[in-house]
Structure 1
Amino acid sequence: MNPSFTVFLFLVLIFLLLVKGRKSSNKLPPVSLGIPIIGHSLQLLKAMRTNTAEKWLHERIQKYGSVSKLTLFGKPTVFIYGNEANKFVFTSDSSTISYSQTTSLKMILGDQCIAELCGQDHKRIRDALLSFLKPESLKNYVGKMDEEVRMHMETHWKGKQEITVLPLMKKLSFDVICSLLFGIEQGGSRRDKLVTWFQQMIGGIWSVPINLPFTRFNRGLRASARVRNFLKDLIAEKRMELKKGADPHQDLITCLLSTRDENNGEGMTEKEIVDNVILVLTAGHDN
């Protein structure tokens, strides 16, 4: 058989399989899934990198409504919007609906973070995180935040004729997070290392999950591993501080180490703490 004809038949077969797997159902939300595998990934990545993701999402809502389907990073995805939709997703158990982050997000942030959990596991981790935000605990954080803001204004704003606000506000957010989440001191080398790794990790989250050398995703994975090792060492330090009588609400890590499940009295595992601290760090920095 002619080799060219064989290749042609192979391509036709692949095309038919893709088309068959992408046939719509009356039960599915409207809108095309887009180009096979690629889908709408490139549009979203472009919006993320130009800081117009929110605009892109709102335009999609105006055009297709609050429920639509698309393909992101090779996965068929349902996009929903609104308070009722959020309540439905986060209060349903896994037998009703299960949700999952993109492959790149899951591999970098971890599979034990609250964004990946459902039902009782989601509630257990959520309650542990909320214990960090109790009113009596928030009072203790005001002084730390005030100190970070004063130091930031003195260093980066005072005496300057012109500043670029967005990167400075992201730096301030990161410094406040380092203080409240980790209890890391100002001006230390550990903050500088962490911010470098964190920026590389963020770059890999919204990328095509191709784990090859020199790709953005590969750099993100390597940076995530460094952040995780950093947090494991920090958790060991916090355990020692708690044994010496440290305040269990001095930062997020000590708070999570001190939290016990109301049903079985067990604490969070090291992986659960690491994954959820990374998630809070990411969410706090991006918002």
Structure 2
Amino acid sequence: MKIPKKQSQNQDILTRNQLPLPPGSLGFPLIGETISFLRDPDFATKRQQKYGNIFKTNLFGSPTIMMLGAEANRYLFSQENQNFVIKWPESVAILLGSASLSTQTGSIHQTRRKLLSQAFQPRALASYLPAMEEISYRYFKKWERFNQLTWYPQLRQYTFDIACKLLVGTDATNDTHFTELFEECCAGLFTLPIRLPWTKFGKALKCREKLLTKIEEIILQRQQQGSSHQDALGLLLDSRDEDGKSLTIEELKDQILTLLFAGHETLTSALSSLCLLLAQNPEILAAARREQQQISCAGALTSEHLKQMTYLDQILKEVLRIIPPVGGGFRSIIQTCEFNGYRIPQGWSVSYQIGKTHQDQSIYKNPENFEPQRFDIDRAEDKSKPFSYVPFGGGIRECLGKEFAKLEMKIFAALLLRGYEWELVPGQNLDLVMIPTPRPRDALKVVFRSIHGVNEQSNVRPEVTQKSDALG
């Protein structure tokens, strides 16, 4: 006798509701274990050792189940909009905005993602290359004049300059106030959402409003100029959804603010990790330089040159494995479900951990070591199990700008390796601060100089400048 579908579903729900919750502690009332989560870089490791790969906690005011490992990633990413929907801490959701792609769900997320993806198609990415190269050379020359510098804040300026140029078509170097507002807004992202003027969140909210006003001015100016700009904003202004409708100014503002954040915060972390890990591994640095010397590149970098840099690809993948810029993500549970014999209850939050996935000894041999060769074609450790390498997340919410990020990292690294060398200043604290994105505690102090004293290649070539100006 066949059991009716509805009766079968009801039985499944009853069975799931009888399953035990994962082990763990919900911590203190209201705040739970949020303070430990924000301050302790070994938060997940300690609980994994005590409870296993799935445990309960309480973060940002919500009871939360943390699920670790490739299999957990596969389950979460494949159940988007079925059992789970995106969830950010309240402070992040408010500061990014309700019209941001990061906070949108369901069909609206799918249609907006399709629109925004036009800014990251291969043709668009190829057009970004000259400007990335020109801005990189300009910053390298500036750092060479400094000789000794604190690199992390300089890298923040560099990535923000590129994000403004290529995503919005504005020059951040000529508007220090815009940069300052953005930095203060970023500082409030992962904080308690207390709307008082002296709190980090309160200051960030005020900066967000000022930023949106500036972004609106840029949008209105661009609308009057027409569609001559080849950047993300230009593409968004020209784009239409399936019904032929364009984005409203209010939505454009939130989307552009999100693109600036995504193209700045996480990339700064990735580049500082690259510079730190190469400085700490001189044999890998030397091998990376040798690859660059073998690639003939008399003029500007091209996509063909970049394709030849296979060892650099492995290095960049390993950087993102060992110090992923995003530690994990949150989802809201919209339907009670089951994983590994435990109940995952509706109304709770669930979190996956990228860093813990990348340290899985059953997938990566000696995961604590910096070994780019683990990604060569013979070893391909990341291919042994699906969702074991997820620096950009996965599923339908995989990072939209991942190819933009990879391109910027590769251009930066290639030009840096060809013309410059850097040494870590002794005595500094290189322990990583993890929130909001990983960075060395003393902000990466280095001695920076061109190779062989004078580096002719580091002069900005006229044709590079002309191409980048055309990007507007």
Alignment map for 1:32-111 (pairs within 5 Å)? 32-46=25-39, 52=41, 56-57=43-44, 64-82=51-69, 85-86=72-73, 89=76, 92=79, 94=81, 96-111=83-98
Q: Report if aligned partners of 1:93, 1:118 keep a CA contact under 8 Å in 2.
A: no
Amino acid of the structure 2 residue aligned with 1:272: E
Map 1:82-231; keep pairs closer than 5 Å: 82=69, 85-86=72-73, 89=76, 92=79, 94=81, 96-155=83-142, 157-185=143-171, 187-189=173-175, 192-231=176-215
In the alignment, structure 1 segments of 5+ residues that lack a partner are 1-23
Cα pair 2:54 2:68 within 8 Å, conserved: yes
Bigger shift: 271-280 or 122-131?
271-280
For residues 209-268 of structure 1, give each alpha carbon's deviation from its aligned partner in whole angstroms, at most 9, with x where no partner exists. Answer: 1112211110011111111111111111121122xx414xx1111111211113x12122
Task: Give the equivalent residue in structure 2 for 1:239.
Answer: 223
Shift of 1:271: 2.6
* Deviation, structure 1 residue 81: 4.5
- Tell me the equivalent position of 1:16: none
Q: Deviations over 1:47-82 (max 9, x none)?
A: 5xxxx5xx6555555655554332222222333455
Query: Are the equivalent residues in 1 in contact too, given 2:160–2:172 (CA < 8 A)?
Result: no
The answer (yes or no) to whether the contact 1:73–1:209 under 8 Å persists in 2 is no
The offset of 1:103, in angstroms, is 1.0
Partners of 2:74 and 2:250 in 1: CA distance: 27
Helix, strand or coil for the counterpart of 1:132? helix
Please, what TM-score do these two structures have when normalized by structure 1?
A: 0.77
Aligned to 1:274: 253
Cα deviation, 1:155-214, whole Å, max 9, x if unaligned, reads 2x113332222222222111111111111126312xx11211111111111111111221
Q: Secondary structure of 1:115's match? A: coil
The 8 Å contact of residues 201 and 219 in structure 1, kept in 2 or not, is answered as: yes
Residue pair 1:37, 1:74 contacting (<8 A) in 2 also: yes
Q: Deviation at 1:90?
A: 5.3
2-side partners of 1:127 and 1:258: how far apart?
Answer: 13
Q: Distance in 1 between matches of 2:139 and 2:55?
A: 43
Distance 2:70 2:251 in 1: 27
Query: What amino acid maps onto 2:168 in structure 1?
Result: F
Q: In structure 1, how many angstroms separate the alpha carbons of the residues matched to 2:100 and 2:46?
A: 30
Task: Answer 1 or 2: which has greater strand percent.
Answer: 2
Structure 1: distance between partners of 2:259 and 2:51? 31
**In structure 2, do the counterparts of structure 1 residues 226 and 91 end up closer, same or farther at CA, with 3 Å as the change threshold?**
farther
Q: How many residues align?
A: 250
Identity over aligned pairs, percent: 29
Contact 2:172 2:179 in 1 (8 A): no
Change (3 A) 1:46 1:26: same
The 1:64–1:140 alpha-carbon spacing in structure 2 relative to 1, beyond 3 Å, is: farther
The structure-2 alpha-carbon separation of the partners of 1:74 and 1:186, relative to structure 1 and needing over 3 Å to count, comes to: closer
Distance 1:202 1:239 in 2: 28
Could you tell me how far 1:270 is from its partner in structure 2?
A: 2.2
Counterpart contact for 2:156–2:264, Cα < 8 Å: yes
102-111 or 64-73, larger mean C-alpha shift:
64-73
Task: Report the aligned-residue RMSD.
Answer: 2.5
Out of 23, 30, 36, the residue aligned to residue 30 of structure 1 is 23
| Structure with the bigger percentage of helix | 1
3-state secondary structure, aligned to 1:184:
coil
> SS state of the match for residue 37, structure 1?
coil
